[in-house]
Chains A and B, each alone.
Chain A
Amino acid sequence: MSASAVFVLDLKGKVLICRNYKGDVDMSEIDHFFSLLMLQEEEGLVCPVMSHGNVHFLWIKHSNLYLVATTNKNSNASLVYAFLYKLVEVFTEYFKELEEESIQDNFVVVYELLDELMDFGFPQTTDSKILQEYITQKGNKLEVAKTKVPTTVTNAVSWRSEGIKYKKNEVFIDVIESINVLVCVCVCLQVNANGSVMSSDIVGSIKLKTMLSGMPELRLGLNDRMLFALTGRDKGKSVAMEDVKFHQCVRLSRFESDRTISFIPPDGESELMSYRINTHVKPLIWIESVIEKFSHSRVEIMVKAKGQFKKQSVANNVEIHVPVPSDADSPKFKTSTGHAKYVPEKNLVVWSIKSFPGGKELLMRAHFGLPSVENHELEGRPPITVRFEIPYFTVSGIQVRYMKIIEKSGYQALPWVRYITQSGDYQLRTNS
Chain B
Amino acid sequence: MPYFGSEETVKELKRALSNPNVHADRLRYKNYISKVIRYMTQGLDVSALFMDMVKASATVDIAQKKLVYLYMCTYASDKPDLALLAINTLRKDCADPNPMVRGLALRNMCNFRMPGMTEYIEQPIVAGLRDKASYVRRVAVLGCAKMHSLQPNTDIGRAKYSVYLNYYTLRDPSLCVLNCFRLNTGLMSDFVFSCVFSFRMKDLDSWAQSEVLTFLLRYRPRSDDQLFDILSLLDSFLQSAHAHVTVATLRLFLQLASAHPAVQADALLRTSAPLLATCGAASRELRFAGLCHVQQVMRSQPGLFGTHYKRFFCGYSEPTYIKFRKMEILVELVNDENVSLVLEELRSYCTDVSPELAQAAIAAIGRIARTYSEKCLDILTGLLALKQDHITSAVIQTFRDLVWFCPQSTAAVCQTVEACVDSPQDSEGKQALLWLLGEHGDQISSAPYVMEGYIDGLKTELSSAVKMELLTASVKMFLCRPAETQDMLGRLLHYCIEEESDVCVRDRALLCYRLLQRGVEETRKVVTGPKSDPSMSVLTGRQEEPISQWTATFNTLGPLSGRDLCPQTAVISAADQPSSSAEKELLPDDTDEEISLSLGSPLSHETFEKMWLDLEILHRQTLGSPRPRTAPDTLQAALQLVKIQTLAFTPGDTVPWKAYIYTRSTGTLILAELLQGDQQAPGSDESLVVSVKQQPVNQHAIRGFVSILKSVLQTLNVDSS
Taking Cβ atoms with an 8 Å cutoff, the residues of A that contact B are 1, 15-18, 22-24, 40, 43-51, 53-54, 56, 58, 60, 71-79, 81-85, 107-108, 111-112, 115, 119-120, 122-124, 126-127, 134, 139-140, 142-147, 149, 153-156, 158, 180, 182, 186, 188-190, 198-199, 242-248, 252-253, 256, 274, 276, 378-383, 425, 427, 429, 431
Contacts and interface: CB of A to CB of B under 8 A. Distances in A.
A47 B565 contact: yes
Nearest to B43: A15
A44 B316 contact: no
Contacts of A378: 353, 388
Given A85-B283, A108-B37, A143 B244 contact: no
A328 to B, nearest CB: 17
12 contacts: A1-B582, A44-B320, A58-B285, A78-B278, A81-B283, A81-B285, A83-B207, A85-B283, A107-B34, A115-B107, A149-B99, A276-B277
Given A49-B560, A154-B173, A252-B202, A246 B241 contact: yes
Given A48-B560, A124-B207, A143-B62, 18 more contacts: A49-B561, A49-B565, A51-B561, A60-B283, A60-B285, A71-B557, A74-B553, A79-B248, A108-B34, A139-B63, A147-B98, A149-B100, A154-B133, A182-B315, A252-B236, A378-B353, A379-B353, A380-B316
- Among A48, A71, A156, max chain B CB count under 10 A is at A48
Contact of B207 (A107, A122, A143, A188): A122
B244 A79 contact: yes
A76 B210 contact: yes
B205 A248 contact: yes
A112 B205 contact: no
Nearest to A134: B100
A199 B313 contact: yes
B401 to A, nearest CB: 20
B566 interface: yes
B255 interface: no
A111 B135 contact: no
Given A81-B286, A115-B66, A243-B273, A56 B316 contact: no
A115 B145 CA distance: 17
A240 to B, nearest CB: 13
Interface stretch (B190-198, B361-369, B515-523, B570-578): B570-578
Interface string B79-119: 00000000000000000011111010001000101000000
A74 B572 CA distance: 6
Interface of B: 26-27, 30-31, 34, 37-38, 41, 43, 60-63, 65-67, 70, 97-101, 103, 107, 111, 113, 133-135, 138-139, 142, 145-146, 149, 173-175, 179, 182, 202-203, 205-207, 210-211, 214, 236, 239-244, 247-248, 273-274, 277-278, 280, 283-286, 288-290, 293, 310-311, 313, 315-316, 319-321, 340, 344-345, 348, 351-356, 388, 553, 555-558, 560-562, 564-566, 568, 571-573, 575-576, 581-582
B310 A199 contact: yes
Contacts of A142: 26-27, 30, 61
Given A16-B41, A48-B285, A156-B203, A382 B555 contact: no
Give 7 nearest A-B pairs by CB, closest first: A245-B241, A123-B207, A74-B576, A145-B62, A199-B310, A79-B244, A78-B244
A111 B67 contact: yes
B100 A383 contact: no
Contacts of A154: 133-135, 173, 175
Contacts of A431: 348
Contacts of B145: 120
Contacts of B293: 78
B286 A245 contact: no
Contacts of A134: 100
B70 A145 contact: no
Contacts, number: 245
Contact of B70 (A51, A53, A115): A115
A256 B236 contact: yes
Given A47-B561, A111-B67, A122 B142 contact: yes
A51 B356 contact: no
A139 B37 CA distance: 14
B561 A56 contact: yes
Nearest to A104: B38
A87 B319 CA distance: 22
A374 to B, nearest CB: 15
A107 B41 contact: yes
A248 B66 contact: no
A75 B202 contact: no
Contacts of B38: 107
A48 B568 contact: no
A80 to B, nearest CB: 9
B243 A82 contact: yes
Contacts of A145: 60-62, 65, 98, 100-101
A60 B281 CA distance: 14
A127 B555 CA distance: 24
B142 A120 contact: yes
B286 A85 contact: yes
B557 A158 contact: no
- Among A51, A58, A182, A247, max chain B CB count under 10 A is at A51
A147 B568 contact: no
